[in-house]
Structure 1
Amino acid sequence: MPPATTRSTPEPRPSRPQQVADAIKDWVMDRGLQPGDRLPSEPELIERFSMAKGTIREALRILEAQGLVKSRTGPGGGTFVHQVSEERAAALLGNYFYFQQLSISDIYQIREALEPELAASLASEGLSEAQIARLQSVMARYAEPAETAEEEREQHIASLRFHAVLAEMAGNPLMRFLIRFTANMLSEITVTRQLYDPPNRELWASGMGYQSRLLSALRAGDCDAARRILREHMQTAHRLMKAQEAALTRRFLSETTII
């Protein structure tokens, strides 16, 4: 008896407009077009790709929805190559994760892998005094512990802003995007799940301590110290945030039981 075979389900073939959209992207890349450059007119695209008007128009709508082209009407109008902003890319990726039920641990697993290496890289490259001052100005927004849940919420967002600003200084655009994205996702989770209530003095004190030590290591160009400090910072913040989440869950269950 011949062994059973497992047939994989074939990938669905892209629609014709999607194929044309992909072909236009390849054409743009092959010719080195830059944001702001005009695409050929609709009749030229019809002739170039040997497709009907409706297919070309739908392909351009696909590219516009992706943020890769932008149409303008009136004098000087047409379809132009457009650069996707980091904010739009993050929003689209955030939509993907909207129903994924990300956990605190999911996010910190990524942060613990990336941010220590970012710190080491920045220490190696060296930060200017202006960059150090910019980070210090962010820290000034939470220099004193919060007294209310509202203050805690604002301070937590500001403390995550410190890491987003740190990522802006990275030379690696992929690392910069991923770290800023995870920091923003953590900020959203903190706010939507109200993990800032009640104020957590230990979380504030440890964060201030680690960030102050990190700035000293960055100013000194000490790669090993910068990596170690930020790794410990992430591990400690992970532990404290999970404890905050657990406390909130217990409080919710207790209130539900009383009701």
Structure 2
Amino acid sequence: MDGTLDAAPKPRRSRPVRVADEIKQWVVERDLKQGDKLPNESEMITLFAVSKGTVREAMRILEAQGLIVTRTGPGGGSFVGKVSADRAKSLLANYFYFQDLSLADIYQMRRVLEPEMAASLAGHLTPAQLDELQALAERYPTPARSADEEKEQHIASLEFHARLSDFSGNRLMGFVIAFMARILTDLTVYRRLYDPPNLQLWQRGRDHQLRLVDALRRGDADAARATMASHMEGAEAMMVAQEAQLAKRFMGE
């Protein structure tokens, strides 16, 4: 023996899975776009030299992945689909269900990414985009008076960050930041909401968002970066103060 361990054999992939991959490669090679029509079932059987049942199962796999859309009636058939951002986020969140993802993990990422995104957007947003962010930052001008209202304010704050990510020119960065905002919105459980409300943290969070919009409006990348970095520290401190944790459940689309 040479002291090395043999790699574990890969599980055998079923024929429908292999055909689904072949169909995807067929679409890529022809540079098909969203909405382009795919061959009908009989043509698929001939193209890939498989049975009707295999083709149907392969198409069901692709439809479940959001890569094809099937329509019935006149002009119907199977068409190239596009995976929605919501579906991608749900699938990714459900993957992390088994990874013991923590709020500390999320904020470690947020502290790195969000200040850089903010800096990259300074001076590059339209007046309409800036006004939309301003309105989100100003949505709650007074502290929460109940647990329900406090939760609403948390969600509104995350909407601000999700919307900011929509404006990012770096689609990967924007997606990751929006994904984290979605996780925090859908899966966070606050154990000490309104126990009592921390007025200082509320004021700090609101002021940071307003200062960030001002920096973005002025095109001051350094100020935008510093403001967002400080905001992330405060947001994490609020989560700790309220004993927030991620719920152990799957996330829907």
Q: Same fold (TM over 0.5)?
A: yes
Q: Deviations over 1:101-121 (max 9, x none)?
A: 432211111111111111011
Q: Which of 1 and 2 has higher RCO (CA within 8 Å, sep 6+)?
A: 2
- 1:137 paired residue number: 135
Letter in 2 for 1:244: Q
Letter in 1 for 2:67: L
Q: Give me the whole-angstrom Cα distance separating, in 2, the residues matched to 1:239 and 1:9.
A: 44
- 1:253 paired residue number: none
Q: How many residues align?
A: 244
Equivalent residues in 2 for 1:93-132, closer than 5 Å: 93-123=92-122, 125-132=123-130
Q: Give me the whole-angstrom Cα distance separating, in 2, the residues matched to 1:88 and 1:5.
A: 41
Q: Give me the whole-angstrom Cα distance separating, in 1, the residues matched to 2:71 and 2:224.
A: 48
Worse-superposed segment, 217-226 or 162-171: 217-226
1:74 aligns with 2:76: no
- 2:250 paired residue number: none
Note closer, same or farther for the CA distance 1:3–1:85 as it changes in structure 2 (3 Å cut).
closer
Runs of 5+ consecutive residues of structure 1 not aligned to the other structure: 249-259
Equivalent residues in 2 for 1:40-55, closer than 5 Å: 40-55=39-54
Alpha-carbon contact 2:67-2:81 (below 8 Å) kept:
yes
- 1:89 paired residue number: 88
- 1:175 paired residue number: 173
Equivalent residues in 2 for 1:234-245, closer than 5 Å: 234-245=232-243
- 1:255 paired residue number: none
Q: Deviations over 1:169-225 (max 9, x none)?
A: 1112211111111011112233x3445343332221111121111112111111122
Alpha-carbon contact 2:190-2:242 (below 8 Å) kept:
no
Name the Cα RMSD after superposition. 1.8
TM-score (normalizing by structure 2): 0.90
Alpha-carbon contact 2:37-2:78 (below 8 Å) kept:
yes
TM-score (normalizing by structure 1): 0.88
Q: Give me the whole-angstrom Cα distance separating, in 1, the residues matched to 2:98 and 2:76.
A: 39
Q: Give me the whole-angstrom Cα distance separating, in 2, the residues matched to 1:3 and 1:80.
A: 52
| Deviation of the 1:239 alpha carbon | 2.4
Q: Give me the whole-angstrom Cα distance separating, in 1, the residues matched to 2:104 and 2:6.
A: 36
Note closer, same or farther for the CA distance 1:242–1:79 as it changes in structure 2 (3 Å cut).
same
| Deviation of the 1:97 alpha carbon | 2.5
Q: Give me the whole-angstrom Cα distance separating, in 1, the residues matched to 2:224 and 2:161.
A: 13
- 1:16 paired residue number: 15
Worse-superposed segment, 125-134 or 50-59: 125-134
Q: Deviations over 1:84-114 (max 9, x none)?
A: 1111221222222234443221111111111
Equivalent residues in 2 for 1:187-202, closer than 5 Å: 187-190=185-188, 192-194=189-191, 196-198=193-195, 199-202=197-200
- 2:145 paired residue number: 147
